A and B are shown apart, each in its own frame.
Chain A
């Protein structure tokens, strides 16, 4: 029981800290904020779990408590990490970089005026003859060592080749589409 409470409580504090930090942060690497706040709250999680595990039986019946502290700590840590991952994912898709989310929000703003696909294409640079979404990724992936730029074109590095093979394998197992 104390593990569940410690995990959820730490996640709540993590969420508040992230929202506050993002308001102060001006860059684009949001994931760094999440990662740092996640790490910063691990000691809070440990302290909260320790406190609740020691004093929990004053609040709830003793049989509600995990008898082994390590098992309780594992539950707390697992819950905290998985909730943080969910928060991160939601923030990423719904607010920070989501492609479809961006289109939906833009359509909401101009409601009831309709939006054409041609206009949406314009936002991503089709009139300038460039695909900004791909262009931005090509630059980033080359800089981070996932792609190499040769005279014959862009190629995969050993790391991105392994990654691609794994993704390809999983796509086959779950019969997924081409994606993108």
Chain B
């Protein structure tokens, strides 16, 4: 149980650290910032698990008697899975088209937007161009004179996505 509590606490601290870092620095590659701020916390978690009291001052005695190596392993697995969950949640908030539409309506005078007004503030051209810009910035695609090709990195990722589509039985 100590493993569960420590994994939660470390995840919350890591999320708070991101809020601080993203406000202090111009972090363009957010995924890399998340990864680089996460990795050093793994040995820290193991160390804290080892040196902290067995019951963390709040757990019942019967809930805190797991051997240290197993406890550290459990805490690490849960911490990694919780961090990956936050990573996904972060992009749920950052990326979705739906939230962008909601925010544009929310900011509009009288909080109303017709379809054509929505097209003006959030056009299809912007939507597609933004994705190409992101893919270029992440080294997945390179464009010359308006024509785009996959880079080797983009090829690999496209193969993974293609395999996923085959696996899920989705027509691509």
Residues of A within 8 A of B (CB): 1, 3-4, 19, 22-23, 61, 63-68, 70-71, 74-75, 78-79, 82-83, 85-86, 89-91, 94-96, 98-109, 111-112, 114-118, 120-121, 124-126, 131, 133-135, 137-138, 141, 146-147, 150, 152-156, 160-161, 163-165, 167-168, 170-171, 173-180
Contacts and interface: CB of A to CB of B under 8 A. Distances in A.
Contacts of B147: 114-116
A173 B160 CA distance: 33
Contact of B134 (A100, A154, A168, A178): A100
Contacts, number: 244
Interface of B: 1, 3-4, 18-19, 22-23, 60, 62-63, 65-67, 70, 73-74, 77-78, 81-82, 84-85, 88, 90, 93-103, 105-106, 108, 110-115, 117-119, 122-132, 134-135, 140-141, 143, 146-150, 154-155, 157-162, 164-165, 167-170, 172
B161 A107 contact: no
A19 B165 CA distance: 11
Given A152-B110, A163-B102, A64 B164 contact: no
Q: What DSSP secondary structure best describes chain B's contact surface? A: helix
Contacts of B159: 108
A174 B100 CA distance: 16
Given A107-B141, A120-B128, A22 B150 contact: no
Contacts of B97: 99, 133-134, 137, 180
Nearest to B93: A170
Interface centre among A82, A114, A118, A180, by most chain B C-beta atoms within 10 angstroms, is: A180
